[in-house]
Structure 1
Amino acid sequence: MAEKTRIIGIIGAGQIGSRHLQAIAKLTETTNIYIVDTSTDSLNIAKQRFKEIVNNEAEISTSYLTNQMDLPAELDIVIVSTNSNIRAKVIEKLLENKKVRYLLLEKVLFQSSSDYENIASLLKKHRTLAWVNCPKRIWPTYQKMFSELKQAKNLHMIVNGSNIGLGCNTIHYIDLMSFFTNETNIKINSDLLESEIIQSKRSGFIELTGTLRIETSNNSTLTITSYNEEDIPFIVFISSDVSRYIITESDNKMLVSNVSTNWKWTETDFITPYQSDLTNLVVEQLLKSGTCELPDYEISKQLHLPMIEAFNKHLDKIKFNRNNICPIT
C-alpha cells in the first residue's frame, strides 16, 4: 500500500512562517507543503530557507501561493503565522472554504476580544482542532523543570530585561506559568505599565514598557518588567519551595538550587531550541496521535483574554486611540 502523502499549509511566510517551513522540511513522511503569502518577497525568503534544509528520508514538495483560496480542498494541518490583525479573518476564510483537520496558530492570537469566542465557535462548527504556538512548554529544559516543580506548593516567576516586548512576549511567560501550575484562571494588574507608547518594529503595532503582575487562583505569581533603558540583561527567575532557577536564555546558561542540596547553587546549560527544530516534532505528534504538547486553543484563549483586557485597560487609561483593538502582535 502506497504511503499517504501529507498535505500541510502555511499561511504567512514571514520570519516565523519560514522557520515553520524549515521544520516541516525535516518530516520523515512524504509531504506536500503549500506556503501562502501576499508578499512575493516573503515567499522568496521562504524558498531560500527551504533550500537550506537537506532531507534524505522523505520526499518533500513545496508550492508557493499568493492567494489562500488556491490551497487544496482538504489539508491535514494548516499553520497560520500571519500578524495578529488579520489572523481571525484568515482563519474564518480558511475554515469556510477548506476542510482542515488541525490548526497551529501563532500568537498573539487576535487583537479584538470578540474574535476569541467567534473563532472558538467556528472551530467547533467545522470540527477542527487547534493549538497555539507557545513553545516554551515543549523546550527540554522547561519540561525537566516541570517534573522538578510538580511537588511545589506555589510558584513565583520574575522576568526582567531591556525592551523585551511586553505586547509580543508576555503570553509566552503566562503560558509557561500555566504549564508549571496547571492553572488557567489568572488575574492581571497593569497599573505599573508606563504611559509611553513605543512603535513596534512591525508597522502598525505598538509595544509597552513597565510592569505586569499576573496571579493565579492558587496564588502563584508572575511579574514581568520591560525597561526602556538599554543594557539591562534579560533574566528569568523561577522560585518555589522545592527549587529555584536563574535563567539567561540568550546565554544558554542557568543557575539551579533546590531544597535537597540545601539550596546550593550550581551552573548548568540551558538549551534554547530553534523554531525550525520544533514545529516538525509538533506536526509529527499531531499526525500520529491527533494531539500535541502545545496549549490547545481553549487553554490559550483563557490566558490571552485577561492579557488583552489588561493592555486595553492601560491604553484606555492613557487615552491612546486604539480603535477598539489591542494593537500588539
Structure 2
Amino acid sequence: MSNTIFVVCAGNLGSRHLQGLTKVERPLDIYVYDPSPDSLRVARERYDAVRTRSDITLTTLDSIANAPSEIDVAIVATTANVRLQVLRQIVGVLNIKKLLLEKVLFQDLHDYEEGAALLGDAARTTWVNCAQRLWPFFKELKARYANDPDLRITISGSNWGLGCNSVHNTDIAQFLWADSAKHEALLDANVIDSKRNGFKEFTGELITSISTGGGLRQISYARGTAPFVITANHPLETLSWDVSNSKLYTANDQNGWTPKESNLSAPFQSQLTADVVTEMLDGRDCGLPNFETSARVHLETLSALLTGMRRHGVDFGTLCPVT
C-alpha cells in the first residue's frame, strides 16, 4: 500500500524535497502543487532526473482543490509571506496526518498566534525544517558538549543571508543547550535586497547568549568574499569548519592543538528528506524541532532582527521581510 505525500510549492526547495522523496524505500504517491506551470515543469525534470523506481509516482497539480483528501505527510515549501495563507487552505480541509513546514515560518509576529490556533492539536504532529540539526557536525557536537556552558560557537562569512538564515542557527543554539536564550542584533544600517525577489536581507551580527552559559554568535560581513565558516571553541577542543570549501580543522590536546584537516561537506536537502519523511511515516522522532519549539525560536529571532533595525530608524513594524 502506498503512502500519500503532498508537496505545496514546486520551487527550488520544493523540487529538492521531491528529489529526496525518490529515495524513500517504500511505495509513494506524490502530489505537488504550484500555480506556476514553469515551476511544475522544472520540478518534474528534477524528479525524473533522479527517479529510479516505478512504485513512486508523481502527479502535478495547478490547484490545491485537486489535492487528495487523505494525506500521510504534507510538506509546505512556500516562501514565508504566503505560508499562513496556504495553511488556511489545507489545515482542517484536507486530512493531513503529519505536516512539515519550511522556515522562515511566517514574517509577521502576529501570525504565529494564528498559526498555532489554526493547527490546534495538529501542532503536535507538525515539524519545522530547521535541517542543520540533522548535519553530522552538529549532532556530534551535541553528543560531546550538550548544555556545556564553556561551548562558544561563531558563524561568519560575507553576505550569507543573516536575515533569512539566522533562525537555522538560533535553532542550533536551542538544539545544543535546550535552555532559555537572549538574542541581540547589532545590524548594519543598510537593508539589502535579497536574492529572492521581494524579500530583504541584513548584515551585521546576531548574538545569542544562553542563560546558563555558552553562546552562539552570527556574523555576516557586508563586503568581501569571506567563506562561510562555523567555529566551535571549547577548553578541550576547537573545531573550525570551512563550509564553503568543505574542510574541517580539528585541534585538541590529543594532537598538541595542531589543527588536523579533514573533508566535510554540508548535506543537501535532497539528501535529508527521505530519512525525515520515513521517520515521520513510522511515527519516530524525525530529528527536527516541533512547531511549538520552532515558533518560539522564530519569534525571538525575528523580534531581535526587527529591534536591531529600529536602532537605525528602520521600522518594519511587526513584519520581518525575510523568507
Match of 1:292 among 271, 286, 292: 286
Change (3 A) 1:200 1:97: same
Counterparts of residues 162-177 of structure 1 (less than 5 Å): 162-177=158-173
Residue 181 of structure 2 corresponds to residue 193 of structure 1: no
Residue 52 of structure 1 corresponds to: 49
Change (3 A) 1:113 1:43: same
SS in 1 for 2:91: helix
SS in 2 for 1:97: coil
Residue 6 of structure 1 corresponds to: 3
Distance in structure 2 (CA, Å) of the matches to 1:92 and 1:277? 30
Distance in structure 1 (CA, Å) of the matches to 2:267 and 2:280? 19
Q: 1:79, 1:105 within 8 Å by CA — same for their partners in 2?
A: yes
TM-score scaled to structure 1, two decimals?
0.93
Distance in structure 1 (CA, Å) of the matches to 2:236 and 2:293? 26
Structure 1: segments with no counterpart, 5+ residues: none
Change (3 A) 1:291 1:99: farther
Match of 2:116 among 116, 120, 142: 120
Deviates more, 1:122-131 or 1:170-179: 122-131
Q: Quick one: which amino acid aligns to residue 134 of structure 2?
A: I
Change (3 A) 1:125 1:175: closer
- CA drift at 1:128: 5.8
Change (3 A) 1:321 1:150: closer
Q: 1:132, 1:296 within 8 Å by CA — same for their partners in 2?
A: yes
Q: 1:101, 1:128 within 8 Å by CA — same for their partners in 2?
A: no
- CA drift at 1:225: 1.1
Residue 230 of structure 1 corresponds to: 224
Change (3 A) 1:300 1:138: same
Deviates more, 1:265-274 or 1:255-264: 255-264
Q: Quick one: which amino acid aligns to residue 164 of structure 1?
A: W
- CA drift at 1:261: 4.6
- CA drift at 1:317: 3.4
Deviations 1:244-303 (A, max 9, x none): 211111211111123455534211221321111100110011111243111111111121
Aligned pairs, number: 323
Counterparts of residues 70-149 of structure 1 (less than 5 Å): 70-126=66-122, 129-149=125-145
Change (3 A) 1:151 1:300: closer
- CA drift at 1:53: 1.1
Structure 2: segments with no counterpart, 5+ residues: none
Change (3 A) 1:283 1:136: same
Change (3 A) 1:224 1:126: closer
Distance in structure 1 (CA, Å) of the matches to 2:256 and 2:113? 48
- CA drift at 1:148: 2.2
Distance in structure 2 (CA, Å) of the matches to 1:180 and 1:259? 23
Residue 210 of structure 2 corresponds to residue 216 of structure 1: yes
Residue 314 of structure 2 corresponds to residue 320 of structure 1: yes
Q: 2:251, 2:260 within 8 Å by CA — same for their partners in 1?
A: yes
- CA drift at 1:116: 1.5
Q: 1:256, 1:266 within 8 Å by CA — same for their partners in 2?
A: yes
- Identical counterparts, % of pairs: 33
- CA drift at 1:318: 3.0
- CA drift at 1:123: 2.0
Deviates more, 1:203-212 or 1:237-246: 237-246
Distance in structure 2 (CA, Å) of the matches to 1:127 and 1:138? 21
Q: 1:134, 1:295 within 8 Å by CA — same for their partners in 2?
A: yes
Change (3 A) 1:260 1:118: farther
Residue 30 of structure 2 corresponds to residue 33 of structure 1: yes
Residue 240 of structure 2 corresponds to residue 243 of structure 1: no
Q: Quick one: which amino acid aligns to residue 97 of structure 2?
A: R
Q: 2:147, 2:176 within 8 Å by CA — same for their partners in 1?
A: no
Change (3 A) 1:117 1:283: same
